[in-house]
Amino acid sequence: MTEPVLEVDDLVVEFGPVKAVSGVSFSLAAGETLGLVGESGCGKSSTARAVMQLPRPTSGSVKLQGRELTTAKGEALRALRPKLQMIFQDPISSLNPRRTVLEIVSAPLEVVGRGDKASRRDAVIQALEAVGLDPDISLNRRPHEFSGGQCQRISIARALVLDPEILICDEPVSALDVSVQAQILNLLHDMKARYSLTMLFISHDLAVVKNICDRVAVMYLGKICETAASDELYRHPRHPYTRALLAAVPEPNPEVRPEPVNLMSGELPSPMNPPSGCRFRTRCPRAEAKCAEIEPPLTELAPGHGVACHFPIADDEAAD
């Protein structure tokens, strides 16, 4: 078995009293896409930024191709950064409004000191063509002259111009119209094959994640509660929270009337004071006294399918 490209072990991110991420661990194999899903506020973006060391995590380990990022400083960290690039949620605000597209996309190359002005311009042109933008029209324009979908394409070009090993996508389509979302997702799928990318894809949209990810990790209040191959997770969710998320996905058939289900109740607890034991117990219909006393470990119930629950959903229940 080959070594993982990215290894995250016991990652903790705290902002004062706020416990944003509490002991998250996962790995990424070369060419794999891992989806990180959960409600708003569960710690998905904080996890992504901690992997990027923006800012550094409170504790834990992040290894890129076997090299520790959390202790790397100065030139050592600077040399590793080009291998790890990020696409942000809001494409327009992530672009400098005062700079042209040529300046925006070439900036990473200038920062790392790669090539001369002419070669950087050629690299920008190739990146723009790869994401479906006409360089003759785009190079000298500024972000406000583009639509949201076009701005996200510019963001993707900026991320790819350094030929990264890993691309982190932080809800890259949530701010876009549905028709544009499909275009950007297809583009990311094509870029993954073209550039042999390994991707961490963050989203709260389970339908999006199903179509683009090989594996899925479900987060709740700073912790991973279930992880499995994409098809397996959608076919047999074993954690009550995962099942509740899947039940909330709308059925795109007007003739199908969804059955009312009571799989989750109440509000998301505060990350400043998370519940004892299982963090989902305050909203879980299956919770018992044990759930308040003991935190369930992430246990592999089937090959590649891990669940952090004292009372996981059985196969016959998951298929219902």
Instruction: Report the distance separating Cα 211 and Cα 126, nearest Å.
Output: 27
93 pLDDT higher than 70:
yes
303 class by beta-carbon count within 10 Å (0-12 exposed, 13-18 middle, 19+ buried) = exposed
The pLDDT value given to residue 257: 66
Peptide bond into 55 cis (omega under 30): yes
Residue type, 50: A
Indicate the domain borders of the chain: 237-320
319 pLDDT higher than 60:
no
DSSP 269-299: PPTTSPPSSSTTGGG-TT--HHHHHSPPP-E
Could you tell me if 28 and 4 are in contact, meaning their C-beta atoms sit under 8 angstroms apart? yes
With vertex at residue 21, the alpha carbon angle to CA 313 and CA 292, rounded to the nearest 5 degrees, is 45
The pLDDT value given to residue 111: 92
Instruction: Report the distance separating Cα 40 and Cα 56, nearest Å.
Output: 21
CA distance readout (Å), 96 to 100, 103, 105, 141, 144:
8, 9, 11, 12, 10
User: For 115-165, how does the pLDDT look when each residue is reduced to its tens digit (9 = 90+)?
Assistant: 999 999 999 999 999 999 999 999 999 999 999 889 999 999 999 999 999
In the chain, the percentage of residues whose pLDDT exceeds 70 is 94
* Average pLDDT over all residues of the chain: 90
The pLDDT value given to residue 261: 59
Could you tell me if 299 and 306 are in contact, meaning their C-beta atoms sit under 8 angstroms apart? yes
DSSP 129-145: HHTT--HHHHTT--GGG
In the chain, the percentage of residues whose pLDDT exceeds 90 is 69
The pLDDT value given to residue 255: 72
User: For 294-303, how does the pLDDT look when each residue is reduced to its tens digit (9 = 90+)?
Assistant: 999 999 999 9
For residue 289, the number of C-alpha atoms closer than 13 Å in the C-beta half-sphere is 0
Could you tell me if 171 and 138 are in contact, meaning their C-beta atoms sit under 8 angstroms apart? no
User: For 21-67, how does the pLDDT look when each residue is reduced to its tens digit (9 = 90+)?
Assistant: 999 999 999 999 999 999 888 999 999 999 999 889 999 999 999 99
Mean pLDDT for the stretch of residues 257-280 = 80
The pLDDT value given to residue 259: 59
The pLDDT value given to residue 296: 95
Confidence of residue 247 (pLDDT cuts 50, 70, 90): confident
